[in-house]
Amino acid sequence: MLERRKALRSQYERNGWRRAVTTRERAEYRSEAQSALARAARFGEGARTGADFHARLDAIKGDLGRQDVTWVRLKVGSTAVFPMGMRFAQNPIYAAALAAFHRVSELERSTGIGGDALDRLGLINTLHASALYERWCLIKIIAVLMQDFEFVAQPDWVEHVVASACRAGRPDVSGFSLRFRRRQPNVSAILDVEPVLANGRRPDFRLRFFVDEATPAPSSERTPIWERSRWKKDEHADMLRLLVETKKYGQDGDWVFILQPAREAIDHSTSPLAWGRDCDYGQASPVKHARGSIQLAADPLANGASLTNLRRLIALELQDVFPEPLAEEMNLPSGPVEVCTSTASFCVSCGHVHESSDVNPAKTEAGNRKWYFKCSECGAGTMQTHCYSCGTTIHKNGLQMTYHLTVADQISNVVCQDCSSGF
């Protein structure tokens, strides 16, 4: 074995550390490209819709501006007193304005943000940077759950968030919880804001998933926030160690992750992927994804990579919760073949539910079960397999959503987070 490795190393050295891409890797790259094109088409459609709305609003803005100029020329000032005896309801312009007002009112009712909520938000004093970042992260977590993974929040979630922001800076105020639900598949989530742990500590957030409301998920994810715009050498690792070992945020088997806005905060990166210097998903043994940190900031120059870091972290917990599909063997004219009969998961790239026809069962060379998931909405592919050495479940989510440790930048060469065996 050592002689073979020595010969292989010599061959790589002669070829400038390059090798030919295999047929399987080419197929993976084609699948990634098709998925990217499908997602780009969806985003392009949204961009065109947004541009159309922008053009309409610009036209309305121009009309209103010309009306203001006309009223000023006529020396007509604004007043809060409606003139008696005037019947604007008969005027088509007034009728159109009234209809627009009703549409805005309906939007207020549907989102829960009305005049009272806006007035209360206006009374908030200037927040400390860390408190402002904490509330921004809360909104982003909710947005990923609802917009990317299609969870439905409890009806009064906006009221809870507004009330929390209005009470900012008061240490005696207790936290609150928000519930989210997906009916297909049947997955629930509870987002606790500043929960009180058994030891009296209060992490910023705790996010837990349940396969149904009666049965807790096998593990849970906790995401405490620690805001830093920059970190000294090893300070980042020391802070994570403090949260886990001293403050015991990881009690009851909970996972502990820091959300922070600084770029390239990982001093000793273990991943060759693009997020290697910004994120640590605990991908190396013996951490086993139980703790780490991700970079999350409003960075328009990063093209949404920061928000993808959060989406990838939540996907890590979701895929740990999803139950394994079921399959049975069917006799076809061509011979017996295994087909998926039941699955309860959804695409971590777009949130679309996986149907049984989207899942193909197979076996590894070691005889372990593996599953291929292909999203019928965005084309993203995922392979759920097991470590050939210890049997730990591993998910290969493509280049964008892979959170495991990989060999070089080959997303198919995944290292087991439990025993460090390489694939």
What token pair was written down for 95?
A: 């009728």
From 135, 156, 132, 147, select the one nearest 314 (Cα to Cα).
Answer: 147
DSSP collapsed to 3 states, 82-142: CCCCCCHHHCHHHHHHHHHHHHHHHHHHHHCCCHHHHHHHHCCCCCCHHHHHHHHHHHHHH
Please identify which residue in the block is written with the tokens 């998925």.
Answer: 35
> Taking the mean position of all CA atoms in its chain, how far away is CA 60?
35
pLDDT score recorded for residue 19: 82
* Whole-angstrom distance, CA of residue 99 vs CA of residue 83: 21
- Whether a cis peptide bond, with omega within 30° of 0, leads into 155 is no
pLDDT score recorded for residue 218: 42
What token pair was written down for 44?
A: 């392009």
Overall residue count recorded for the chain in this entry: 423
φ, ψ dihedrals at 397, nearest 5°: -105, 15
3-state SS class at 325: coil
Measured CA to CA in angstroms, residue 136 lies from 20, 143, 296, 402 at distances of 45, 11, 10, 25
Measured CA to CA in angstroms, residue 139 lies from 12, 145, 307 at distances of 48, 10, 12
- Whether a cis peptide bond, with omega within 30° of 0, leads into 224 is no
Question: pTM for this structure?
Answer: 0.70
- Do 88 and 96 touch, CB atoms closer than 8 A? no
Measured CA to CA in angstroms, residue 38 lies from 47, 261, 366 at distances of 14, 30, 34
Per DSSP, the residues of 236-259 read HHHHHHIIIIIS-TTGGGEEEEEE
Measured CA to CA in angstroms, residue 289 lies from 133, 196, 219, 326 at distances of 25, 24, 11, 26
Please identify which residue in the block is written with the tokens 């998961």.
Answer: 345
From 338, 380, 373, select the one nearest 359 (Cα to Cα).
Answer: 373
* Whole-angstrom distance, CA of residue 138 vs CA of residue 304: 17
- Do 186 and 151 touch, CB atoms closer than 8 A? no
What token pair was written down for 294?
A: 């991700």
pLDDT per residue as tens digits for the range 161-216: 888 777 655 555 668 999 999 988 999 999 999 888 888 888 889 999 988 744 44
pLDDT score recorded for residue 383: 92
β-partners of residue 332 are 335
Q: What is the mean pLDDT of each run of 10 residues along the chain (423 residues)?
A: 89 86 87 87 89 90 86 68 51 74 77 63 60 87 94 91 72 79 91 88 89 51 53 76 84 85 85 90 86 85 81 93 90 85 92 93 87 91 90 89 84 86 73
* Whole-angstrom distance, CA of residue 11 vs CA of residue 18: 9
3-state SS class at 192: strand
pLDDT score recorded for residue 355: 93
